[in-house]
Amino acid sequence: MWKKPPPFLTAGMCSVTYRPLPPGRIIRLAADAGLGCIEWGQDAHIPLGDEAQARRVGEATRAAGLDVSALGSYYRAGTVADPDEDRLVWGRVLAAARALGAPRIRVWAGDTPSAAVTPAGRRRILDALRRCVDSAAEAGDITVATEFHGDTLTDDAGSARSMLDDVPGLRTYWQPPNGMPHAEALSGLGLVLDRVDAVHVFSWWPTHRERWPLDHRETLWREALGMVASARRRIDASIEFVPEDDPAVLPREAATLRRYLDDASSALPRP
């Protein structure tokens, strides 16, 4: 007998949605909004070098019935000239992820637009990403995934695809690039879909200054999440930003996201 497919897509949130709030408040907001996981940001909530804090946040998250989906780090591969300093920074990131109990670390693919990076600069970034992937796997089967963002090797889908092909084991996030037309954004998603482990969900249009409710870009998100659901594996879809950074709108935005995810999973053809 055919059974309804499992919920491949998990609705969650990024703690950077509410940077000024303490972790306990964020956990309550996520749980009350019916979300399933939290990506904890290093910059505001998981300071490097304080593994005790990371451990407390991870335990509190799980005690509330939520998963820790990732450590959202700000490690930028290939940008630290001193190898010893780079290893020190990455070691702190890895220690924080282990203490937090995070199965994934988000990193950044350099700090230069893909069209402007030199061949030597690209090699440095790729070499650093390879070291991250290998050391994270050795440290506890932790996945490394790149932020899909401007001014990095992932600011163009073709560049991101090439990067992923050159670094075995590396995964990536996806989000719609600011100002990019709907069809072009979805084409880029299709190009990297087999390596996508998480999606950052928000409605900025056409620039980062115009923050709308999620349903403002309903067509884009329904199509994007339908594509992601077709991968038929766990992928976290996490709210990253909301209008006015207002905690009061999270239940509404979470309900919209859950509706889109349910519809995307229900629309999958029977195997």
Beta 171-174 vs 211-212: how paired, if at all? unpaired
What pLDDT score was predicted for residue 246?
A: 97
Domain containing 229 equals: 9-266
What pLDDT score was predicted for residue 140?
A: 84
Q: pTM of the predicted model, to two decimals?
A: 0.95
Q: Which amino acid is at 194?
A: D
Is residue 271, in this structure, part of any structural domain at all?
A: no
Distance CA 176, CA 205 (A): 10
CA atoms within 13 A on the CB side of 125: 28
- Confirm if 238 and 13 have CB atoms less than 8 A apart: yes
Instruction: Output b/e per residue, 58-94; b: 16+ Cβ within 10 A.
Output: beebeeeebbbbbbbbebbbbbbeeeeebeebbebbb
Please provide the DSSP assignment of 25-41 as one string: HHHHHHHHTT--EEEEE
Neighbouring residues of 181: CB distance < 8 A, sequence distance ≥ 6:
none
Is residue 197, in this structure, part of any structural domain at all?
A: yes
Is residue 49, in this structure, part of any structural domain at all?
A: yes
Beta 9-14 vs 104-108: how paired, if at all? unpaired
Beta 211-212 vs 203-204: how paired, if at all? antiparallel
What pLDDT score was predicted for residue 4?
A: 44
Is residue 28, in this structure, part of any structural domain at all?
A: yes
Is residue 70, in this structure, part of any structural domain at all?
A: yes
User: Could you tell me the CATH number of the domain that includes residue 187?
Assistant: 3.20.20.150
Distance CA 122, CA 32 (A): 43
Is residue 40, in this structure, part of any structural domain at all?
A: yes
What pLDDT score was predicted for residue 8?
A: 78
Distance of CA 203 to the CA centre of its chain: 15
What's the structural domain count of the chain? 1
What pLDDT score was predicted for residue 270?
A: 75
Distance CA 80, CA 171 (A): 22
Query: Shortest CA distance to 13 belongs to which of 31, 102, 210?
Result: 31
Is residue 115, in this structure, part of any structural domain at all?
A: yes
Taken in order 100, 139, 126, 169, the sign of the CA dihedral is negative
Is residue 198, in this structure, part of any structural domain at all?
A: yes
Quick one: tokens of 16? Answer: 């950077």
Distance of CA 64 to the CA centre of its chain: 21
What pLDDT score was predicted for residue 3?
A: 40
What pLDDT tens digit does each residue of the chain (271 aa) get? 334 445 679 999 999 999 999 999 999 999 999 999 999 999 999 999 999 999 999 999 999 999 999 999 999 999 998 989 999 999 999 999 999 999 999 999 999 999 999 999 999 999 999 999 999 999 888 999 999 999 999 999 999 999 999 999 999 999 999 999 999 999 999 999 999 999 999 999 999 889 999 999 999 999 999 999 999 999 999 999 999 999 999 999 999 999 999 999 988 887 6
What pLDDT score was predicted for residue 271?
A: 67
Query: Shortest CA distance to 38 belongs to which of 3, 75, 63?
Result: 63
- Confirm if 265 and 226 have CB atoms less than 8 A apart: no
